[in-house]
Structure formats: C-alpha cells, structure tokens
Amino acid sequence: MYVFVYGSLCSGQDDHHLLREAELVSAQAFVRGTLYSGPLDEPLLREDQHTWTYGELYHIRHSLLSELDDYEGFQPGNEDGEWYRKETEVFSDTDSVMAETFYWNGVTKASISHNDWKVHQFLHQDSYIYFAYGSCMDDARFITQKVHHLFADVIGTGTLYDYRLAFSYHLNDGARADIREGAHQKVEGVLYRINKQALHYLFLREGVEAGAYRPSIVPVEMDDGSVLQAVTFTVLSKKEDMPPPFHYAEEIVRGGERYLSSEYIEALKQRFLDDLKVQHFQEYMEKRSRSYD
C-alpha cells in the first residue's frame, strides 16, 4: 500500500525514521489540497480541489499504517476527530496512484509557503544553498543584470541522483530545462551559497509567481560524498521534452564546462546534437572545434 506524507515524516525531517523501512516512490509527489500551519506551527493538510500540496510518496507494509495512525493521533472509525485519513489520488512526474493521506479538520493558522513544508522551513534561513542545473550555471546573464556579486560564492559541483535533465517548460522559442524523477539517472549542477536577495532574483527569473517553476528542496551529493539540502526549481506543468533555443543550450554548455564532469558535458552535447537536434548547435560545435585546432 501507499502513503503520502508532507511534513515531519518527509526525508531529512525529524520523524522520518518512522519510514525507515518504507520504499520511496516519489520525492516530488503532490495531491490536491492546501497546506496550513497549526497551533504549534506544524503542517496541516486540508482538502482543496483548486490547489496542490507537495510531499513524498512511499510504499509501506500494511502493519505500518497503524503506527502512522498513532503518530498522527487518528483513531480509525472516529471520523469526527481533528485528524482523518482517506485514500486519495497522488501524482508524480510519471504516474498517479491511490495512497493513504492524513487530513486535518481542526483549527489552522496561515497557509504555508508554496504548499511545501520543506520549502517553507528552508525560506526561514538567512542563507541558502542553491543547485543550478540549467542556464544559471553560466554567469553571462548575472553580469548583464548586475547580480553577479550575488552568485560569487560557488561551493562546487553537485550531483542529484535519480533525476534526469528534462526540457519540459515550453516557450515560443523552445523549451527550458527541468528536473524529472528518473531511477538510475543523474543531473549534475553547480552549487552556490546565496542570500535572500539572490533568492528573490531567482524567484523572478524562474517565474515562480507566474506559475512557471516552483522551488523544491533536493539532496545534492558533493564530490567528497557529503550530501547538502539545496533549493532548486522544477517546472509546475511539465510537458514532453522539446529542443531548447540555441542561445539557451549554449549557456548550459558554457556554464557547465567550467564545473561539471567531462563525461556529463559530452553526453549533454550529444543530446543537443542527436536527440533534441538544437538548431545551429552543429555549427556551433564545428566552429569551436576549428578554434581549438
């Protein structure tokens, strides 16, 4: 059976140990509903057909459900309590399943930022780790827009495992980069240490308020094996991959070549050439090859 969690049971949170024997199905799962803070500033989910709440989907043994009922303070058969549990449709990047989900009937306070508990907590920090996997690996636009100083603290290269690099945000001139869950795949990127001003710039650049991308907290592995929790951005309404415009592909390659592994960059170039068939990318590569001769 499946369960959807959205608060302290999520990975990296205080009570995640209760799911230590569960199988993570999706770290980018979502259900219809709105997330609120409760009397103790805990996350509480209310049913709402007009919004999405983000969390994690797990496959669990049936006996664990009673432990989760106890944890949430829910008594099966008592549907008049503050907590109730019901089977609801949970979505991921690739599929949807029916999963047990805990909802709240009691008093709430304010709604939670972006309907994502991890993001909500992350935004209360004074500084942040940012994982860039697309055009923000390149500093050309940072310089042009006079924000280069906000992204001067480069920590190094990071790898996001069990995701793939997608191009699923469609604009008139082509697609923009995205991350989508994909087992046994990886996305390399650049890790920056940034402040609130830089994060505000990223929210504007990524079109968060316009509904293009949403912030997400992901575990990124450094070259030394350590794992950092970083904020990144993922497309809200994902579509099938389509070619990005040449200038955008160029930014990704130019920025990535400074930091990412040669194997990853070469695979990306081949993808732009053979799979996505980015216009003018062949001429670009030939020109660069001649300049190296």
Measured between alpha carbons, how far is 103 from 71 in angstroms, rounded to an integer? 13
CA atoms of 63 and 65, how far apart (whole Å): 5
CA 35 to chain centre: 17
Catalytic residue, from 188, 206, 250, 251: name it.
206
Quote the DSSP letter at residue 206.
T
Q: Is residue 142 helix, strand or coil?
A: helix
Name which of 47, 29, 67, 31 is nearest 108 in CA terms: 47
Partner residues linked to 159 by β-bridges: 188, 221
Give the whole-angstrom CA distance, residue 101 versus residue 56.
11
240 is catalytic: no
Report the C-alpha gap between 186 and 194 in whole angstroms: 24
Angle at 240 between CA 239 and CA 244, to 5 degrees: 95
Instruction: Classify strands 23-32 and 127-132 as parallel, antiparallel or unpaired.
Output: unpaired
How far is it, in rounded angstroms, from Cα 249 to Cα 134?
Answer: 9
Residue type, 106: G
Q: Which residues are catalytic?
A: 206
